Amino acid sequence: MCVLLVGTIAYKVASEQPAPRIPSMANPGAAGAAGAAVDPAASAGPAPDISRLTPRERFDRLFNRIMGAAEEQDTAQVLRFTPMALGAYAQLDSFDADARYHAAVLHLQAGNAAAAAALADTILAETPGHLFGYVVRGTSAQLRNDPATLAQSRRDFLARFAAESAAARPEYAEHAPVIEEFKREAS
């Protein structure tokens, strides 16, 4: 389901919209009527003031906003806030597997499978066997139409699943549906 959602969003973004522009901090609101042109520079009102948040809080807030917009199929907001969220990610003073996973999801939905694959490699280099590394690597391979890497990612995921599940990492609990879906597809 997650792979399907990310794939659908990436396809819609890549096929229906021009290359994303670096947005201002304005809130574009929901996309207009179906087929109507959406001006990403148009503002439906000011965005909330995030200047007092920590870099991680800014990144998390932007990520959650984008995921909410993606679930509502609001590609205008996805396009508008993805560059901002990736900019917030670049400003983090420390990176954990959860932040890297979130950045990878943003890259995947923007159609940048190579950047997502690089983050998967980083997750696995930092924490060998981390399930997010295999999920991102496999999803990226699927979007790149790379069946060999997808199959290897699934095998590696299944081989590490029991031990990693026993590690009871907090990020696994937060993203349990994604992990379970990848496991189901891998089995």
32-71 per-position pLDDT tens digit: 333 333 344 444 456 666 678 899 999 999 999 999 999 9
**pLDDT for 68:** 94
> What does the CA dihedral 122, 136, 183, 14 come to, rounded to 10 degrees?
180
How large is the average pLDDT for residues 1-9?
A: 47
Least confidently predicted of 23-27, 129-133, 143-147: 23-27
Domain ranges of the chain: 2-16+53-186
**pLDDT for 48:** 63
> What does the CA dihedral 19, 144, 149, 1 come to, rounded to 10 degrees?
80
DSSP letter string over 126-182?
HSTT-HHHHHHHHHHHHHTT-HHHHHHHHHHHHHHHHHHHHTT-HHHHHTHHHHHHH
Residue 30 has pLDDT above 60, yes or no: no
**pLDDT for 50:** 67
Assign a CATH topology to domain 2-16+53-186: 1.25.40
